[in-house]
A and B are shown apart, each in its own frame.
Chain A
Amino acid sequence: MCKKALEVNALTTAYNNNPVLWDINVDVPEGIIMGIIGPNGAGKSTFIKSILGLVKPVAGSTKIYGKPYKSIRKKIAYVPQKESVDWDFPTTVLDVVMMGLYGNIGWIKRPGKKEKQLALDALEKLGMKEYCNRQINKLSGGQQQRTFLARALVQDADLYLMDEPFQGVDALTEKVIMNLIKDLKNKGKTIIAVHHNLETVLEYFDWIMMLNVKCIAIGPCKEVFTGENLAKTYSSSQAPYQSFVVKKDRSIYKSSILRGEKI
């Protein structure tokens, strides 16, 4: 547990002179499930993308398992938001999952039997094997998400970065995905997922990162998922999170509400 899966130092990114991420300093230990929460425009996706080098930072550095991203790329799997692609693209579920292996196949070569089997295994874990030859434009939102997760699974990575894996999926799919994530954790993998539903934070995640351009708090849920931190993250003292924050901090939460009323 003492090994660091992710080390971020002074990471700052900007878009058209507006800072999107400001001086993020984060250390994430190996073998945990970490959620990232924050309001819209807080920079959650940008944070994930800058770890992956998809967004160039203005300043700061990122290290994964103590190494720069480029030299350890094969140990990282990325699950983008499912809304980020056009699902009318003419291809099948199996084909999309095999895309996860394109980095290993090499130039010119096509995916072969071995790759196909790996993809089928990954689909099976997500209960999607029977859909392997289905056209991707005929998938439901939950099936799209499972397809993306299967694609990340075939990469056999150590660090999984997921951008809103529960966005627009039904309760059953959410459970399937959560079981998969816990399964990955039990194998010693690290999972970082952007999340929106505050009610499930304590149930799903070991660690939580609360982000609103700056990193408001990061650490084990039981220590940092408090009313006070939530109020800071969502810049509001009256957000309705009384019921699911960590209990020992109820008093702190109440005091923040009182402050809010005075203002």
Chain B
Amino acid sequence: MIEYLLSIFQDHTLRTVLLGSGILGITSGILGSFALLRKQSLLGDAISHSALPGIAIAFLITKSSSPIILLSGALIAGWISSICMMSIVRFTKIKYDGALGIILSVFFGLGLVMLSVVQKIPDSRQAGLNKFLFGQAATLLKEDITTMGILSGIALIITFVFWKEFKLLIFNPEFGDSIGLPMKKIDILLTCLIVVAIVVGLQTVGVVLMSAMLIAPASASRQWTNRLEIMIILAGFLGAMSSVTGTLISSKTSNMPTGPIIVLVSFLIFTLSLFFAPKRGIINKLFCTYKNNLKITQNILLTYIYHLCNSKDSVGLTELMKKNPCNSSKKLIKILKQMENSNLLQEHSDKWKLTLKGVKKVRKLQLEGDFYD
């Protein structure tokens, strides 16, 4: 294990690759959170698929495969696609999902056609545009990392500067407009940043699966917190974690595309968060429901026994069964035993009566009317 870790730090190429995927994870986690909260998770999917023709056309025009040129192509194409989608929604009666589906498939189709055009040009193999489909972190070079780092840095600084404007845009844009903040411009700015975050990840994760990097870390971190600040920082962290882990796994296996592995890792994190997060987690919710229901049933039973004991000393099981709130006698006995264990009830030859503690509890319940406590 230690040897393995050491080998990572000594391996120069691997370090570069990991740095790149870390940058990608942080950026997509943070900007993905905004997209998720705006209910625009799928916007990322459309933008990333639409980046493909941009990359191919940029290569066809310049015949250069330098990251700045290819990613600029991706940026422009992604941006055009998002403008197309917004215009379709705004000027026609087609709804958001329809516009998204149309733009995504048309741009991606065009991208695939352009890619095969590129393949026919001699010497194009070296350009390695195919890696943009599913991502190949192992091919990341220092030059790529610099481009990614600059783009991410700009995006994150802008996020910090426009923090409260973005928050207002997501929560209540009309109110933002009413207090004089130019919400339309801020909307365009945020969409541009999301495009940048996608472009940064294209080489590593690929156009097909990039949207998962926006959605999965953000949804996972939403499970853990109710504060926007924490959610966004956590999303960046979880994004970095999943992409670094995914990259490690894929670079240690030959010919393994990075994108799918990263997506699987982030899905794992998402699943864990879905189940085990406190408060919003599924397991906690089930547990709380069970605990509350048990408490309510107990309190109802206690009150019932209290009233019955007004006229007699103790209550038999058959009498309790008549008004049984538990639906089954087995469960009823189980709950009665539980209350006996917590000193609320006493049992004498299958007859039940309240202890002093039980009587006190019922009186308190009647005073406060709070059956949950």
Contacts and interface: CB of A to CB of B under 8 A. Distances in A.
A102 B176 contact: yes
- Rank and list the top 6 A-B pairs by shortest CB-CB distance, nearest first: A103-B179, A78-B178, A73-B180, A135-B226, A85-B172, A103-B180
Interface string B168-201: 1011101111111100000000000000000000
B227 A90 contact: yes
Interface stretch (A48-56, A60-68, A230-238): A48-56
B163 A110 contact: yes
Contacts of A53: 177
Contacts of B172: 80, 84-85, 99
Contacts, number: 70
B165 interface: yes
A90 B226 contact: yes
Interface string A148-181: 0001000100000000000000000000000000
Given A90-B226, A110-B164, A99 B180 contact: no
Interface string B137-168: 00000000000000000000000011111011
A85 B171 contact: yes
B177 A54 contact: yes
B353 interface: no
Contact of A78 (B175, B181, B226): B175
B171 A96 contact: yes
Contacts of B180: 73-74, 103
Contact of A137 (B162, B178, B226, B231): B226
B161 A73 contact: no
Given A80-B172, A90-B231, A91-B171, A73 B179 contact: yes
A205 B80 CA distance: 51
B245 interface: no
B174 A108 contact: no
A49 B174 contact: yes
B222 interface: yes
Given A84-B172, A85-B171, A155 B177 contact: no
A91 B227 contact: yes
Given A73-B180, A107-B161, A90 B225 contact: yes
B356 interface: no
Interface string A109-130: 0110000000000000000000
B84 interface: no
A246 interface: no
B171 A76 contact: no
Contacts of B179: 73, 78, 100, 102-103, 155
Contacts of B174: 49, 54, 78, 80, 84
B228 interface: yes
Contacts of A86: 39, 171
B233 interface: no
Given A52-B178, A73-B180, A86-B171, 7 more contacts: A80-B174, A85-B172, A90-B222, A90-B227, A90-B228, A99-B171, A102-B165
